[in-house]
Amino acid sequence: MNRNKKGVMPEITRKEYEKIKKSDRQEFAAFCEGMYKRGYEDGMESVPGVDLEEVMAAVARERGVGKRTLDNIRDCVEQLFRKEDENE
């Protein structure tokens, strides 16, 4: 299946449709996984990333957030980002 423009569902040709109909469970699961991955990649590219330093600067501007609290928040948030990186 050819990859189309972002945000556009790729068209399944008659030949691909016949191949999908004749596929077994594992082949169909692999086909679905490929479709999912392409959609996931397109979705990830469409969402802007978060800059951790900008988040920390915004938190630091709040009253009552000192250096120790800011460091604790930074550690917690960095752990979350590390978990996401490990899962990919």
What ranges do the domains of the chain cover? Answer: 14-46, 52-87
The pTM of the full predicted model, rounded to 2 decimals, is 0.47
- The single residue listed with the structure tokens 């082949």 is 27
**24 — pLDDT class (breaks 50, 70, 90):** very high
Average pLDDT of the residues in 14-20 = 91
Tokens of 59: 């938190």
Q: Give me the pLDDT at residue 87, please.
A: 61
pLDDT of 26 over the 90 cut: yes
> Which position has the higher pLDDT, 29 or 12?
29
Q: Assess whether pLDDT exceeds 90 at residue 84.
A: no
- Is the pLDDT score of 7 beyond 90? no
- Distances in Å between the Cα of 80 and the Cα atoms of 46, 49, 50, 55, 84 are 21, 14, 13, 14, 6
